[in-house]
A and B are shown apart, each in its own frame.
Chain A
Amino acid sequence: MGTFKLTTVEEFEAATNRLLETGKKVGADGWQYRVANQTPHCKFGEQGICCRICAMGPCRITPKAPRGICGCDAHGIVARNYLKFTAGGAATHSDHGREICHTLYCTSPDGNYKVKDPEKLIRIAKEWGVETEGKDIYDLAHEMAVLGMGEYGKVFGTQNFLKRAPQHTQEIWEREEIAPRAIDREVSCSLHMAHMGCSSEPKALIRQSLRAGLSDGWGGSMAGTEFSDVLFGTPKPIDTEANLGVMVAENVNIVVHGHDPSLSEMICEYADDPEMIAYAKEMGAKGITVSGVCCTSNEVAMRRGIPMAGNFLQQENVVLTGACEAIVVDVQCIFPALGPLSKCFHTKFITTSPIAQMPDSDFIRFSAENAGENAKLIVKTAIENFKNRKPELVYIPDMKQKATVGYSVEAIVKTLDGVTNSQVDVTGTTKPLIECITSGVIRGAVAMVGCNNPKVRPDTAHIELMKKLIANDIIIVASGCSAQAAARAGLMSKEAKDLCGAGLKRVCELADIPPVLHMGSCVDISRMMILVATLAKDSGLNISQLPVVGCAPEWMSEKAVSIGNYVVATGIDTFLGVDPYVSGSDQVAELLTSGIRDWVEASYTVEKDIEKLGDRMIERIEEKRAAIGI
């Protein structure tokens, strides 16, 4: 057998500790210290029974004070908080999707942004009933961009992309009145409902949470993904590397962090520009290395094979290497701590979006209209900063793993075509995967998503669960920081097949895939929705019947809650390793973990014991198999 070995969490931690020593030297703190300062957390907040949505409060629920001043009980308060949490997440993804639509609107044949996948654009246009025949592709792009932005504020009707769901799912959404209307409307409706003196009925609030979530998954996120593919190309399998060791000491290191590929794509373009590379050499570097953190990293890894430096809780480590010339960010999941931290080093912390402005940063306002010149300016700024490095502070942990990424739905179908037999099979479907599942060779699939959260030993839950699942012949599709945890550990290397059960191993060998498939960023969880919808259609089963579950073991953001809601509302049982602040209401907890099953055929399972969380997923998958007799 080869020399393949996973990188362990202990090794991750040893590297982090070494970096924190550098931090100490220069007086930097890290999230590790801030967590200690914040511990223990306020119990009222943790249970979701603190309300401060009006100025009569803040109110909190205790046995002695079972109601807030307005008379709202724990159930109403918890459910309102939950809905607001969801709305925050849905707003975030959706605004990202809107930005992408705007970028699409800015495309031109000789501009910064072009249409790289015209076929996909035409396909979506046809789905939306737009005439494509004889139309210039850029005219079509602009027309689709306007329609796409229209989805955010459409006056009548529901989201266009809902039609992609199987009939049965669409009927559930209609019946339960959770089919999302205009995206922005669902967000503001949520905020309206959660205002003082509006809804305090848990069922109504949770129902709206599902609808707001769906406006994200089948609206904003899906627009973000689909139009990003049109703009930057639909991902195909590509080799890359992951973990801090991808940074190169001799090069100018630019780290892209955040979410929107409109920025990171442009940075990558200019970092590849011979003129910029020559400039870097002039400044004493050997070249330019772009690497990524969080979702924007996933985006450029999927499309360009740009290496992934790390996930959410690694973002400070990138700076602590002392070798980061610039960390360029846009929106979402960016620690404001990066500002003060960068000041301890030569690193330039460059914020670019009016949405995410932070103290102690260099703000270079980036927009689709001025993308080229600003991306160039950012790259130049980074290059010119190379000389300010303090060599005595440079330490890049020598750790990285190979990863094969780029598994869009299109790429998965194409991969599956590779195991069909032209004498008996049709191509272009998910049927080979369904056959592997129905025969039992693969037991099922788990969508592993979500963040890091210091409440869970970082990355352990992701990695341990994945190891357990693949050993049980369960294939993983991953996105977001979960995907990066997998990549850093080595689970996206094709060699990781040796950690699988015999069934998944055989599939990995025949299809030439790693056992954990990287499907992209957080908005790309919409790809997973399209994949299950296709599996349901190709198998004739309902989505809720498929032996497929979702899991966010280390989630932390509002976006993750929004994601959870649309995954559940799509009919997929979802497993959480961190409690969503609902333990203060048995009614809300009951609704989320069982009651909503009557509405959408799926619900949540919350289990903080990660070992048990894995067991319960496997159990659920086996139950689903038994129910359909496979």
Chain B
Amino acid sequence: MTLFDVVFSGNDAAYGLAEGAIDAAIEKYGADKAVSFPDTAYSLPCYYAVTGTKVNTLGDLKNALGVVKTLMTREQRLNDAFMSGVATALCAEFLEVLKYVDNPTPYEAPCAGHLPDAAIRELGVPLVTGDIPGVAVILGAAPTAEEGVELVKSYQAQGILVTLVGGIIDQCVEMGYKTGANVRVIPLGKDVTAVVHAVSVAVRAALIFGNIQAGDAAGLMKYTMERVPAFVNAFAPLDPVIVAAGAGAIALGFPVITNEETFRVPKSLIVQKDISKFNATSLEARDIKIKVTKIDIPVAFASAFEGEIIRRG
């Protein structure tokens, strides 16, 4: 299978899931049932940013799925793979928003799920000033919990905002590693679709800080590529849905670094077998230079710890 075929099949799978879930929800609640993420002015941020259309009801969501389908062209060209990647992210967003129907808190600690606009506004300034030099999206489970946590820790020590999706969350829990928005290590969710909450951050950054007009998909991608220093670390095994989501990330300008043997694309899809080198590989791929001078002290030192609450004992 060509790389693009894998993307297409992952996209088809995500689309199938979204379609099934939306139909089932309409069956259950009716097409007029309201859908939304909490605490955002951007409706379904990814879908809104790409199309300029807000989704209010399940009926709207069904229509939105029709729009997504138009992105799913199947030529063997990167443009088609990119658009299918975007379509996959949108399907993920649909699946995620359905979790919020009749349930204001589908996510429980440590997972955050959808992040409110306020959190993005708060992160925006340090992102612009470079105090947060990058955003890491870690996806899947590392070969061992130790390696996974080491990686998270290494980013945290550099002031990089870390978002976690899937098995790595349990690995942090297992190792008793402290996570949360205050230490800038944010577990999003355990389903792969939760990755869209990281995308949503980048997309809303473009709308809020980049003055990108909703519906200007090309401008959006240019902004994220040039201005949002995010990257993805995806652990093996990669299933087609993850690869398709990865294509979406690459479309936004975010390189994907993986330890799975797969196709390679310079600066975009990089195979790094050695987890201990994920950090250096990722930073170089995204051209992130760390401003913080390394201070030789026994505990990790970075702005990520500014919000940490020191508990007694």
Q: Given known contacts A420-B266, A424-B270, is B79 in contact with A440 (CB within 8 Å)? A: no
User: Is A441's CB under 8 angstroms from B78's CB?
Assistant: yes
With both chains docked as a complex, state the minimum distance between the C-beta of A445 and any C-beta of chain B, in angstroms. Answer: 15
Note all chain B residues with C-beta closer than 8 A to A438: 263-264
A424 touches B272 (CB 8 A): yes
B residues less than 8 Å from A622 (CB atoms): 76
Chain B residue nearest to A509 in the complex (CB): B225
Contacts of B267 in A (CB 8 A): 419, 421, 510
Q: In the complex, what residues of A have CB within 8 A of residue B285's CB?
A: 421
Cβ–Cβ < 8 Å partners of B281 in chain A:
421, 423-424
CB distance from A2 to the nearest CB of B (A): 12
CA distance A83 to B99 in the complex (A): 74
Known contacts: A419-B266, A423-B277. The answer to whether A503 contacts B77 by CB under 8 A is yes
Residues of B within 8 A of A32 (CB): none
Minimum Cβ distance to chain A for residue B88 (Å): 16
Q: Give min CB distance, B264 to chain A, whole Å.
A: 4
Is B155 in the interface zone, CB < 8 Å from A? no
Report whether over half of chain B's contact residues are helix, strand or loop; otherwise say mixed. mixed
Judge if A362 is at the interface, Cβ distance under 8 Å: no
Are A422 and B77 in contact, CB atoms less than 8 angstroms apart? no
Q: Is A436 an interface residue (CB 8 A)?
A: yes
Number of interface residues of A (CB under 8 A): 27
Q: Does B260 contact A (CB under 8 A)?
A: no
| B125 in contact (CB, < 8 A) | no
Q: Report the contact-size class of chain B (Cβ under 8 Å from the partner).
A: 20 to 34
Q: Does B280 contact A (CB under 8 A)?
A: yes
Interface membership of B265, Cβ < 8 A: yes
Chain B residues with CB under 8 A of A443: 76-77
Contact of A423 among B4, B78, B269, B272 (CB under 8 A): B272
Interface centre among B2, B264, B269 (most CB of A within 10 A): B264
Nearest-Cβ distance from residue A420 to partner chain B, whole angstroms: 7
- Separation of A473 and B79 alpha carbons in the complex (Å): 9
Q: Does A597 contact B (CB under 8 A)?
A: no
List residues 50-90 of chain B with CB under 8 A from any CB of chain A. Answer: 76-79, 81-82
A441 with B265: CB separation less than 8 A: yes
By the criterion CB–CB under 8 Å, are B265 and A502 in contact?
A: no
Q: Mark B236-277, 1 if CB is under 8 A from A, else 0.
A: 000000000000000000000000000111111111100001
Partner of B3, one of A416, A440, A501: A440
* B269–A439 CB distance below 8 A: yes
Q: Which residues of B contact A416 (CB under 8 A)?
A: 266
- Residues of chain A lying within 8 A (CB to CB) of residue B269: 439
Q: Does A68 contact B (CB under 8 A)?
A: no
* Closest residue on chain B to residue A503 by CB atoms: B78
How distant is A505 from chain B, measured CB to nearest CB, in Å? 9
**B11 → chain A closest CB, angstroms:** 15
Asked if B284 is at the interface of the complex by the 8 Å CB criterion, the answer is yes
Q: Is the C-beta of A584 less than 8 angstroms from some C-beta in chain B?
A: no
Give the residues in chain A near B284, CB-CB below 8 Å: 421-423
Query: Once the chains are docked, how many angstroms separate the CA of A473 from the CA of B80?
Result: 12
Least Cβ–Cβ distance between B87 and chain A, in angstroms: 14
Give bound CA distance, A503 to B269, whole Å: 13
| A421 with B270: CB separation less than 8 A | yes
Q: Are A439 and B79 in contact (CB under 8 A)?
A: no
Q: Are A423 and B79 in contact (CB under 8 A)?
A: no
Closest to A472 in B: B77
Q: How far is the CB of B22 from chain A (nearest CB, A)?
A: 29
Given contacts A501-B78, A502-B78, A503-B78, contact A432 B266 (CB under 8 A): yes
Q: Are A440 and B277 in contact (CB under 8 A)?
A: no
- When chains A and B are docked, how far (Å) is the Cα of A501 from the Cα of B83? 13
Complex CA gap A625/B281 in Å reads 30
Does A506 contact B268, Cβ atoms closer than 8 Å? yes
Q: Which residues of B contact A472 (CB under 8 A)?
A: 77
Instruction: Give A506 to B250 CA distance when docked, in angstroms.
Output: 10
How close is A206's CB to chain B, nearest CB, in angstroms? 35
B277 touching A506, Cβ below 8 Å: no
Of A420, A503, A629, the contact of B79 (CB 8 Å cutoff) = A503
User: Is A435 an interface residue when CB atoms closer than 8 A count as contact?
Assistant: yes
A residues near B78, Cβ cutoff 8 Å: 440-441, 473, 501-503, 506
Using CB atoms, name the residue of chain A closest to B279. Answer: A423
CB distance from A473 to the nearest CB of B (A): 6
Q: Does A426 contact B (CB under 8 A)?
A: no
CB distance from B188 to the nearest CB of A (A): 26
Contact of B266 among A436, A501, A503 (CB under 8 A): A436
Task: Specify which of B2, B79, B265, B271 is in contact with A436 (CB 8 Å cutoff).
Answer: B265
Report the bound CA distance from A501 to B285 in whole Å: 22
A435-B82 CB under 8 A given contacts A423-B281, A440-B2: no
Write the residues of chain A forming the contact surface with B, with a CB cutoff of 8 angstroms.
416, 419-425, 432, 435-436, 438-441, 443, 472-473, 501-503, 506, 510, 622, 625, 629-630
Q: Which residues of B contact A (CB under 8 A)?
A: 2-4, 76-79, 81-82, 263-272, 277, 280-281, 284-285
Query: Which A-B residue pairs are the 4 nearest by beta carbons?
Result: A503-B78, A502-B79, A423-B281, A419-B266
Given contacts A435-B266, A501-B77, 5 further A-B contacts (CB under 8 A): A424-B272, A439-B264, A502-B77, A503-B77, A510-B266
